[in-house]
Structure 1
Amino acid sequence: MLGLHVRNHDSRIARLRQDLLQAGLRVLLIAFITTTLVLTPPAVEVGICFVILAAYVAIVGLWTIWSFRRTHTRASTRESITLLAIGCDVAVISVLTVLTGWSSPESWTSNVLRTGLFLIPLIAAAQLDPFISAMVAIPTLGAYLAVALITQSENLEPWESILLNAVVLAALAGGAVALSIIQRAKEEVIGNLALQRTQLLEELVSLEKRERQALSERLHDGALQYVLVARGDLEEVETSSVVEVGRVNSALTECSKLLRDVVRELHPEVLSRSGLKAAVVALADSIADRGELAVDLDAHTWPDNERSAADYVLYGAAREISTNVIKHAHASTLSFDLQRADGTALLRIADDGVGIPDDALERSVQSGHIGMASTRARILACGGSFEIRRKSPGTEIEISLPLS
């Protein structure tokens, strides 16, 4: 949900920037037309020209109010209004150019106004929509050629000049379409990266919450129960019964073992003291001591007491994967294969259980269990690879991670 809100917020910010850029370019276009009519006014029809300009200013004002006050406008409606507004841009310049060209062929008003069409592809490109840029490019070029054709005899402009300007306008329109495509692709990449970052943060927050809950449950259902039993037996110890003393000693022994396992899993001292190989050996021994699985470990290529920046990530992955095997795989054997070669760590964990479905990670995330998904995200974020292979029977997970 947070990722959706962030993406919607980023989309609104992007649209606001596009609208600001379009509004700025239209203000520039209005200033250009006004300056042209003031500095090089036509000999006649000046009043009509300013009436058309005033109507255009009103249209731009209405478009601006709509743009900055819209909230939930459908994409098709937004696209239609954008094309309509750009059509007004083209129409105003075309009408003014033809009007001044016919009424005042002796002035430069028509020739100057016609160059305003070169701003239209830029206004369309500000939308960052290749479809809109392409839809605007053709009528803009057509309007330029039509206006030039209509006013050519009055302005006595050579065809060579008209064609060269048309080529420049076509190149500018093509560049606007290309820019829209590049910027749209860039925004999509940035948006996807931002969404992945948000999802990863959500996963980490949720994972911390679930780990705290799991720790609380283990302490409550395990060590705390032994302490309560020992406390009850202590009341009977006052009668000097040897049986009760033995029960208290057994309960406290089990309690200390459980607490030692929890502490070791939270922060394995052996990992910081002796390195990854010793920590994985301790993890394998701990699983084997429970008697639920036969555990096999091969780490002969890993140097003793070797430490690297990848130790904690790899150990966390080994712990998470083995926990999943114990809980869900219904396996009888579990094997660890830890290797090091050419500055890369390779960890394989395999079992002979029921196997893992292809969409297991996606379904576990949807159901709120993100331990394995977070493990994979950490491995990939560190520049490694995380592969799940189905065996017959069982599953093999292979992790490759640069030691640096």
Structure 2
Amino acid sequence: MTTGFVPSSESAMVRGLQLQLGLRILLAAFIAATLLWQPPDNHLWLHWGVALTYAVVVAAWAVWGLRSARRSPAEPARSVALFMLGADLTVVAVLSVEAGISSPQAWTSDVLQYGLFLIPLIAAAQLDPVISAIVAVPAIVTFFAINCVNRSVNDDEPWGSIVVTTGVLSGLAAGSVALSWIQQSNTRTIAGLAQERAGLLEEVIGLEKRERQSLSERLHDGALQYVLAAKREMEEVREGSTDGMDRVELALGESSRLLRDVVRELHPEVLARSGLKAALTSLADGIAARTALDVSVDAGSWPDDLRTEADHLLYGAAREFSTNVIKHAKADSLRFTLCRADGRALLRIADDGVGIPPDRLAMAVENGHIGFASVRAKVLAAGGDFEVTGAPGTTISIALPVPGTD
């Protein structure tokens, strides 16, 4: 279900390109404003030519980049990003150095050099720490070189000022590298969580489909067969056969019992009427009555009248795992623990049986036994935690968020 993540990935890329475009427009506007209000004494036409060429390159890149992002969520080539950052750096460096040499008495070069402070910000918008690091060094070197050229021509700026401003740019560049790394890490984490969520939802849908199929097979092979058998016996009943009536009564009785079992699993009456605590106690009493297990329930801190959205999932988990204990664990005791803390419902099912092998969940799904995997997928999809520990015995711990219960 990766298609569910494409729109958000594409949107993030478009926003990144829009941020870069905005910063480049700001850089172009800064250059134009400098040439208007602090024009060089010589070669003004050359400066405007370089500035207009840069504007055309930015416009062409913007059209290409935004169209590419909307057509495909793939990240643009690193070579294109480096080319554009090289163009950003080159236009400021060329204009600053040329103005400093040809027009030393004008303030053009002294103002233009501060456009280099925008370069690390543009690089940071790439969300690529490698690109930010590659661009940081030439930006710092270029800024220091321009200051050295202007100082050699004007001989009026102290070295301390040059070192301090270069240090500020270095700090900005280092910050852009760190910001790129942090944002890239966050983006990957979000992407991983989105893919995991999509996978869990897909798994839940598949498991629910198989559960419905299993329910259909139980109804068809169980209650329906008894109903059909009763229907076949009705002919003898019409003829006054006492044995036929007995068989019909038996078939209908078994059909009723099987249907009640199915209905109880789908929506246990005690859970709806009395809540999770009572339902767990009833489940434990039923297990103790029909098995030799020593069953106990520890739910003293759970209010009798509490109802939460997690009740059905927790009860289903308790029923599923207790059934597994009865069938496979070879245990002597079974213990249910139910409590709540920090807005979460906590259920622990523990036995002293043979334990569960590490690959038990995967094997269960492959062999068609979907109970474990189904509960786990539903718990994770609901934002909860699912943990299985053993040796000796098995302990299954489930935590589900239940806001507003504390």
Do both share a fold (TM > 0.5)? yes
CA separation in 1, counterparts of 2:53 and 2:142? 20
* Secondary structure of the corresponding residue to residue 112 of structure 1: helix
Query: In structure 1, what is the equivalent of residue 336 of structure 2?
Result: 338
Query: In structure 1, what is the equivalent of residue 247 of structure 2?
Result: 247
Kept in 2: contact 1:278–1:304 (CA 8 A): no
2:27 is the alignment partner of 1:29: yes
* Secondary structure of the corresponding residue to residue 127 of structure 1: coil
Kept in 2: contact 1:223–1:254 (CA 8 A): yes
CA separation in 2, counterparts of 1:365 and 1:169? 58
Query: In structure 2, what is the equivalent of residue 113 of structure 1?
Result: 112
* Secondary structure of the corresponding residue to residue 314 of structure 2: helix
CA change 1:175–1:67 in 2 (3 A) is same
Kept in 2: contact 1:302–1:338 (CA 8 A): no
Kept in 1: contact 2:275–2:305 (CA 8 A): yes
User: What is the identity, as a one-letter code, of the residue corresponding to 2:209?
Assistant: K
Kept in 2: contact 1:203–1:370 (CA 8 A): no
- Measured after TM superposition, the shift of residue 6 of structure 1 is 2.4
Kept in 1: contact 2:383–2:401 (CA 8 A): yes
User: What is the identity, as a one-letter code, of the residue corresponding to 2:95?
Assistant: L
User: What is the identity, as a one-letter code, of the residue corresponding to 2:146?
Assistant: V
Kept in 2: contact 1:380–1:386 (CA 8 A): yes
Tell me the TM-score normalized by structure 2: 0.84
CA separation in 2, counterparts of 1:74 and 1:275? 50
Query: In structure 1, what is the equivalent of residue 223 of structure 2?
Result: 223
- Measured after TM superposition, the shift of residue 15 of structure 1 is 1.1
User: What is the identity, as a one-letter code, of the residue corresponding to 1:176?
Assistant: S
Query: In structure 2, what is the equivalent of residue 154 of structure 1?
Result: 153
CA change 1:304–1:66 in 2 (3 A) is closer
Kept in 2: contact 1:336–1:350 (CA 8 A): yes
User: What is the identity, as a one-letter code, of the residue corresponding to 1:235?
Assistant: E
Written as runs of structure 1 = structure 2, the 5 A alignment for 1:5-404 is: 5-70=3-68, 71-72=71-72, 78-158=77-157, 159-283=159-283, 294-299=292-297, 302=300, 306-308=304-306, 309=308, 311-324=311-324, 330-331=328-329, 335-339=333-337, 346-350=347-351, 352=353, 356-361=356-361, 371-376=371-376, 379=379, 386-391=386-391, 395-399=394-398, 404=405
CA change 1:331–1:234 in 2 (3 A) is farther
Q: Deviations over 1:55-95 (max 9, x none)?
A: 212221232222112245875x6112111210111111101
Kept in 2: contact 1:302–1:339 (CA 8 A): no
CA separation in 1, counterparts of 2:240 and 2:163? 113
CA separation in 1, counterparts of 2:166 and 2:126? 23
Q: How large is the Cα RMSD of the aligned pairs? A: 3.3
Q: Deviations over 1:23-74 (max 9, x none)?
A: 1111111111112112221121112212222221222123222211224587
CA change 1:145–1:160 in 2 (3 A) is same
Moved more, 252-261 or 55-64: 55-64
CA change 1:378–1:262 in 2 (3 A) is same
Kept in 1: contact 2:124–2:180 (CA 8 A): yes
- Measured after TM superposition, the shift of residue 375 of structure 1 is 2.6
Q: Deviations over 1:90-140 (max 9, x none)?
A: 111101111111111111111111111011011111112222212211110
Paired positions, count: 395
- Measured after TM superposition, the shift of residue 357 of structure 1 is 3.4
Kept in 1: contact 2:39–2:108 (CA 8 A): yes
User: What is the identity, as a one-letter code, of the residue corresponding to 1:95?
Assistant: V
CA separation in 2, counterparts of 1:286 and 1:7? 46
Kept in 1: contact 2:298–2:338 (CA 8 A): no
Q: Deviations over 1:345-393 (max 9, x none)?
A: 553243746x53324435666899765345335556778653323446x
CA change 1:213–1:334 in 2 (3 A) is farther
- Measured after TM superposition, the shift of residue 257 of structure 1 is 0.3
CA separation in 2, counterparts of 1:244 and 1:373? 45
Moved more, 251-260 or 364-373: 364-373
CA separation in 1, counterparts of 2:180 and 2:66? 22
Kept in 2: contact 1:284–1:295 (CA 8 A): no
Tell me the TM-score normalized by structure 1: 0.85
User: What is the identity, as a one-letter code, of the residue corresponding to 2:133?
Assistant: A
Kept in 1: contact 2:287–2:295 (CA 8 A): no
User: What is the identity, as a one-letter code, of the residue corresponding to 2:104?
Assistant: P
Kept in 2: contact 1:325–1:351 (CA 8 A): no
* Secondary structure of the corresponding residue to residue 299 of structure 1: strand
CA separation in 2, counterparts of 1:332 and 1:124? 63
CA change 1:239–1:294 in 2 (3 A) is farther
* Secondary structure of the corresponding residue to residue 335 of structure 2: strand
CA separation in 1, counterparts of 2:330 and 2:367? 27
Kept in 2: contact 1:114–1:144 (CA 8 A): yes
Moved more, 265-274 or 250-259: 265-274
Any unmatched runs of 5+ in structure 2? none
Kept in 1: contact 2:321–2:372 (CA 8 A): yes
